[in-house]
Amino acid sequence: MANDTDMGLTNYVFTENITRAWRCFEALKSGQVAINNGNASSSEMPFGGIKESGMGKEGGFGYGIQEFCNVRTAALML
């Protein structure tokens, strides 16, 4: 259901099972996935979505110049 949308900026996953967390990260179609964390971004990470949430990234080390990449990030709090 999470992928059944035209948007794809950020998804949030809360679980104690690390295998499930990474399986969700790989399956979710969004620019960012926050795992056990309410914040999916930092200044070092590229920010941006996919699908109707935008194309390309801004910020982040080395990714701000790659306007048309589908770079994905995950934030995991243990």
pLDDT tens-digit series, residues 41-75:
877 777 778 888 877 676 666 655 566 667 778 88
Give the type of residue at 26.
E
SS3 22: helix
- The answer to whether 5 touches 46, Cβ cutoff 8 Å, is no
Residue 14 CA neighbour count, 13 Å, CB half:
3
pLDDT in tens, 10-35: 899 999 999 999 999 999 999 889 99
Taking Cα atoms as reference points, which of 1, 11, 2 lies closest to residue 72? Answer: 11
